[in-house]
Amino acid sequence: MSRGERNSLSALIRAVTGLLDTFAVVLKHLCRRPITEEYPEFHRQLPARARARIILTRDPDGDERCVACFLCSAVCPVSCISMVAAAREDGRRFAPWFRINFARCIYCGLCEEACPTLAIQLTPNFEFCEYDILTMVAEKEDLLVAHGGKNRDYNFYRYAGVAMVGEKGSHIDEAPPVDLKSNMP
């Protein structure tokens, strides 16, 4: 038998054994009972890092954590987050309104990673489908929860050192603001 005939014979044997192995797997699973998990009655345990519904959390003092920095809306790949920024009398920033369109959201978690105050967090709650697409738009009142989420003790203003009272440049060891027009030639 020549070398070419041996190669073609070995190729034929490999093809037949591959075909028979495939049929063996099909026959083995054909005789088994199907494994069906009935969804509403049986809930699968989700991984610890599962990402689903977005919530807005509060700090330990009870104030909203969101400082309306717009990082979450800037990093969102589908532009489903929108908000407006404002400041309180004490200088603390907040979002008067905050809106997420869950019909567009892809639950990637980039908004959670970009948030410096840990205000946005994703929970494993994934059961919220609607027939009307307009009801998938969640306002701030729908998203805001009364707890701190995964990081209950984190308070952005305490860690950031924001204790300033008065105008910019009047804080201890702070340089006065630079007049940009004086730097012009």
C-alpha to C-alpha distances, 64 to 2, 18, 44, 110, 185, nearest whole angstrom:
82, 62, 33, 20, 44
Domain ranges of the chain: 1-35, 54-152
How do residues 90-147 score in pLDDT, each as one tens digit?
878 899 999 999 999 999 999 999 999 999 999 888 888 889 988 999 999 999 998 8
- Mean pLDDT value of segment 48-75: 90
In this structure, the chain runs to a length of 185
CATH code for the domain defined by 54-152: 3.30.70.3270
Q: What is the sign of the dihedral through the CA atoms of 132, 135, 137 and 143?
A: negative
Tokens describing residue 145: 């929860």
How do residues 26-42 score in pLDDT, each as one tens digit?
998 888 888 888 887 88
Asked whether the beta carbons of 114 and 71 are under 8 A apart, the reply is: yes
